[in-house]
Amino acid sequence: MLIESVNGFDWNDGNLEKCQKHGVSIQALESAFQREISIFPDIIHSQDEERFISIGKTYEGRSIFIVFTLRIIEKQKFIRPISARYMHKKEIEHYEKTIARTS
């Protein structure tokens, strides 16, 4: 699995600010990766580095859309969030249908 053996998250002022701009806290974002989460390659935005789109639920049960990459730091793998936002009802319905078709 893609996020198997991840050692944690790679945060700095830039990605923290971008995620919090949409009202997503560190705790909410990180909690999505502790639950069942769907991950897809972000082929369109993967020119400089491989990026991924993930759709999951926070500890509060809110649907969340996360863009991230993986970083290797001192031989350890970290999730580096790029952007995150809560999803609207129509998006949730669309992605649930898409995920059901690919499962």
pLDDT at residue 1 greater than cutoff 60: no
Distances (CA, A) of 6 to 37, 42, 60: 14, 19, 23
pLDDT at residue number 103: 59
Q: What is the pTM assigned to this prediction?
A: 0.85
d(CA 103, CA 100): 5
For residue 61, CA distances in Å to 28, 57, 76 come to: 10, 5, 29
Displacement of CA 83 from its chain's centroid (Å): 8
Total Cβ atoms within 10 A of residue 82: 18
Task: Give per-residue pLDDT as tens, 63-91.
Answer: 999 999 999 999 999 999 999 999 998 88
Neighbour tally for 94: CB within 10 Å: 12
pLDDT digits (tens, 9 = 90+) for 19-69: 888 899 999 999 999 998 889 888 887 788 899 999 999 999 999 999 999
